[in-house]
Homo-oligomer: A and B are copies of this chain.
Amino acid sequence: MSAHNLGIPKGVRDFGPLQMIRRKTILSTIEKVFQKYAYLPLETPAMENMSTLTGKYGEEGDQLLFRILDSGDFLAGVAEADFRAGAKAMAGKIAEKGLRYDLTVPFARYVVMNQHEITFPFKRYQIQPVWRADRPQKGRYREFYQCDADVVGSDSLICEAEFIGIIHEVLAGLGVRDFTVKINNRKVLTGIAEAIGAAGRETDFCVAIDKLDKIGLEKVELELKQRGFSQDSVEKARPVLTAANGSNAEKLAFLKDFLKDSETGLKGVAELEEIFEYLRLLDIEETKIQLDSSLARGLAYYTGAILEVKAGGVQIGSIGGGGRYDNLTGVFGLPGMSGVGFSFGLDRIYDVMEALNLFPKQSEVSAKALVAHFDEESFRHGLQIISELRREGIHSEIYPDQAKIKKQLNYANKKNIPFVILVGSEEMRTGRYTVKDMSKGEQQSLSLHEIVFTLR
């Protein structure tokens, strides 16, 4: 194999040092906040049994699952008839494992398998890659990290309120100041469907109104009609579609009135009110929180609150989302467990921070200092310096090979190492080393003690 036809599968990525340092900044910020809110870490295997994965993400999701070919003679026991039956049937015979598609289903599977050891309510966070055989396109990858936090086994709406607190702390920690947390409730959507005389049709309703931002009121109404909503329903829905402005209190008042005949709808409004009350008690400003009764986010899933975060000042989709699903583990045989979760999208946050120039300039720094040397003897002397620097906890390196000083300085430059300590015969004799500040181009003569003091 030669260098020019080398590659990686489409839709997946390498992350070089600069990207990694930035990604780590984001991940560790998220993780620290999760920990502060007392979420416990969990990791599940990349591979799950296909029986765990299939049927959980809808038909479309099933098709996006990566399957792992059984090891050994995977054709043993596969008849020619199976082969002729086509890929779909055949896949079930030769690939019993698949790569996880998200972190929620493995979490639910874990909870059910370990239900007797777990202390409920169980608050766990999980930061791992997931895989989807999606058509790769800008911003959509086949391998990407999810950063999830979920609570299972609590009905308390404080969980929802705390997720909003977490969002605020994470984004503040990353310097993302302009963002909006949208909140809705599935019961409100159910209520709206009832109120417009289209009970049970909230899914269709949501698919149409989800495009309000993009295509405008007129086209949304047209789509509603095409989806079989009556003229009467469309007209009744209009106040909902045009109520997008106003304060949260005004929206709540509007919904309370609009949904006055829907018990479910009013329950949804009451839940939203309770969350807003908790936010006040938790001292979380309401300015960035926006009740949006058209927010749906994969409706099939959620039964209570629905959350979504978008950054301002950039045209990038949501950087996180979540909500409550009342029967998280029911599909695995443990009914009655309410779950509520939130997931940050690492790639989207990265894109936002890059677009807004929020990454610190110095984030590519690896070492604080490079020890450079003129010959074998000064190299050996330099080893003692590097050893002392590291003993003092200073990230540092010595240029490993014999090379011209220019090459060594160039190395420091390219790696953004801010200081170079030059070791030559004069330095060895006096014990004072020339320290070059690479950004300013200045140099000064310092003892090892002074160097440690300066670099720390």
Query: Which one, B42, B384, B397, B415, contacts A17 given CB within 8 A?
Result: B42
Q: Are B8 and A48 in contact (CB under 8 A)?
A: yes
User: A12 vs B165: C-alpha distance in the bound complex, in angstroms?
Assistant: 35
Q: Are A393 and B36 in contact (CB under 8 A)?
A: yes
Chain A residues numbered 244-283 whose CB sits less than 8 Å from any CB in chain B: 277-278, 281-283
A88 → B minimal CB distance (Å): 8
Q: Mark A92-125, 1 if CB is under 8 A from B, else 0.
A: 0011110100000000011011110101010110
**CB-nearest residue of chain B relative to A107?**
B14
**CB-nearest residue of chain B relative to A49?**
B9
Most chain B CB atoms below 10 A, which of A20, A90, A400: A400
B-side contacts of A47, CB under 8 Å: 8-9, 12, 66, 131, 142-143
Q: A83-B80, A380-B281 are in contact. Are A400 and B154 (CB under 8 A)?
A: yes
Q: Mark A137-165, 1 if CB is under 8 A from B, else 0.
A: 00000110000000100111011000001
User: A75 vs B71: C-alpha distance in the bound complex, in angstroms?
Assistant: 18
Query: Which one, B14, B73, B155, contacts A42 given CB within 8 A?
Result: B14
B-side contacts of A121, CB under 8 Å: 400-401, 411
User: A387 vs B36: C-alpha distance in the bound complex, in angstroms?
Assistant: 11
Q: A69-B67, A397-B37, A401-B154 are in contact. Are A112 and B48 (CB under 8 A)?
A: no
Q: Is A395 an interface residue (CB 8 A)?
A: yes
Q: Are A387 and B17 in contact (CB under 8 A)?
A: no
Q: Is A360 an interface residue (CB 8 A)?
A: no
Q: Is A222 an interface residue (CB 8 A)?
A: no
Query: Which one, B21, B40, B383, B384, contacts A41 given CB within 8 A?
Result: B21
User: A112 vs B4: C-alpha distance in the bound complex, in angstroms?
Assistant: 9
Q: Are A46 and B46 in contact (CB under 8 A)?
A: yes
Query: Which one, B9, B37, B281, contacts A383 given CB within 8 A?
Result: B281
Q: Is A333 an interface residue (CB 8 A)?
A: yes
B-side contacts of A2, CB under 8 Å: 332-333
Q: Are A75 and B46 in contact (CB under 8 A)?
A: no
Q: Is A443 an interface residue (CB 8 A)?
A: no
Q: Is A129 an interface residue (CB 8 A)?
A: yes
Chain A residues numbered 323-367 whose CB sits less than 8 Å from any CB in chain B: 331-334, 366-367
Q: A12-B47, A47-B143, A401-B155 are in contact. Are A387 and B283 (CB under 8 A)?
A: yes
Chain A residues numbered 37-73 whose CB sits less than 8 Å from any CB in chain B: 37-49, 51-52, 63-64, 66-69, 71-73
Q: Is A441 an interface residue (CB 8 A)?
A: no
Most chain B CB atoms below 10 A, which of A13, A15, A414: A15
Q: Are A49 and B7 in contact (CB under 8 A)?
A: yes
B-side contacts of A38, CB under 8 Å: 366-367, 395-397, 417
A31 → B minimal CB distance (Å): 9
B-side contacts of A45, CB under 8 Å: 8-9, 12-14, 143
B-side contacts of A110, CB under 8 Å: 14, 16
Q: Is A177 an interface residue (CB 8 A)?
A: no
Q: Are B395 and A35 in contact (CB under 8 A)?
A: yes
User: A4 vs B42: C-alpha distance in the bound complex, in angstroms?
Assistant: 21
Q: Are A90 and B75 in contact (CB under 8 A)?
A: yes
Q: A6-B332, A43-B20, A113-B3 are in contact. Are A400 and B75 (CB under 8 A)?
A: no
Q: A156-B400, A283-B384 are in contact. Are A131 and B6 (CB under 8 A)?
A: no
B-side contacts of A113, CB under 8 Å: 3, 6-8, 14
User: A81 vs B94: C-alpha distance in the bound complex, in angstroms?
Assistant: 18
A225 → B minimal CB distance (Å): 35
Q: Mark A364-406, 1 if CB is under 8 A from B, else 0.
A: 0011000000000001100110110011011111101100000
Q: Are A87 and B112 in contact (CB under 8 A)?
A: no
Q: Are A400 and B9 in contact (CB under 8 A)?
A: no
Q: Are B90 and A158 in contact (CB under 8 A)?
A: no
Q: Is A215 an interface residue (CB 8 A)?
A: no
B-side contacts of A16, CB under 8 Å: 42, 110, 114, 117
B-side contacts of A131, CB under 8 Å: 46-47
B-side contacts of A415, CB under 8 Å: 40, 119
Closest 9 interchain pairs by CB? A38-B397, A12-B45, A17-B40, A38-B367, A156-B400, A2-B333, A3-B333, A71-B133, A20-B41
